[in-house]
Amino acid sequence: MSTDQFEVLAATFRRYVSPRLADRILGDGNLPVVTDMRARAVVLFADLRGFTGISERLDPHDVVPLLNEYFSLLTDITFHNEGTVFHMAGDCLMVGWGVPFIQADASCRAVNTGHQMLERFGSLADTWRERHGIDTGLGIGINEGEVVAGNIGSPSFMSYTIVGDAVNIASRLCQRARAGEMVLSSAVKRSLDARGHVIDAQELPAMTLRGRSNPIDLWCVAAVRRMQVTQAVQVP
């Protein structure tokens, strides 16, 4: 790899992952990096509940700092759990594990991330309530499946992201989640079970998505219910 190619790769990774993880990716020649190809990934969507209506009532100079606080909190948690930020739009965040490099414990990292987001956002929501008199909550959806990863866009604007049915399902699970809930697909639950991780999750009625003949089994973890993990993920 030429010096110019390395610098482009380094700049790309540091936009989406924590500096610590970017250095590991770039410094370890044996770390399997996944770019421009199909990969199995765990995808998490996080979205604020009722924030669109709230933002219409607030002055713009109040809305922007709130969103910056929100995204700063969620991205810090994501980076702590070695996730990759793929997309921010409005008040929605999409992150993932398993791309751009393989992570055997991707499902556990994702669920731990979701749990931490719900817990810590509760404190931020309390601050917003006291400061601005607004009430909002966080909903999270997590799915596991095959995605296509790559630099997607046009010559004038391009970003490294993931697409595919697994991403669409994660988005729908996020829509299904109520404020303070994390909704998991059965694929995520099976991965957790296979690794010996036990969570305090309640099975929900299966959901049928448009264009799919088979319903998707769902599990829900609420912020007020403590998640019990038998094997803690150790983030170096």
Please count the helices (runs of H) and the strands (runs of E) in the chain: 7, 8
Per-residue pLDDT of the chain (236 residues; tens, 9 = 90+): 556 655 665 666 666 666 666 666 666 554 455 556 789 999 999 999 988 888 888 888 889 999 999 999 999 999 999 999 999 988 999 999 998 888 999 999 999 999 999 999 999 999 999 988 888 999 999 999 999 988 788 878 877 789 999 999 999 999 999 999 999 999 999 999 999 888 888 899 988 887 777 888 999 998 754 333 434 444 43
State which amino acid sits at residue 47. Answer: D
Q: Give residue 75's pLDDT.
A: 94
C-alpha–C-alpha distance, residues 134 and 179, integer Å: 14
Alpha carbon distance, N-terminus to C-terminus of the chain: 28
Q: Determine the topology of domain 33-222 in CATH.
A: Alpha-Beta Plaits (3.30.70)
Q: Considering the entire predicted model, what is its pTM?
A: 0.83
Q: Are 49 and 125 in contact (CB under 8 A)?
A: no
C-alpha–C-alpha distance, residues 219 and 55, integer Å: 31
Domain ranges for the chain, please list them. 33-222
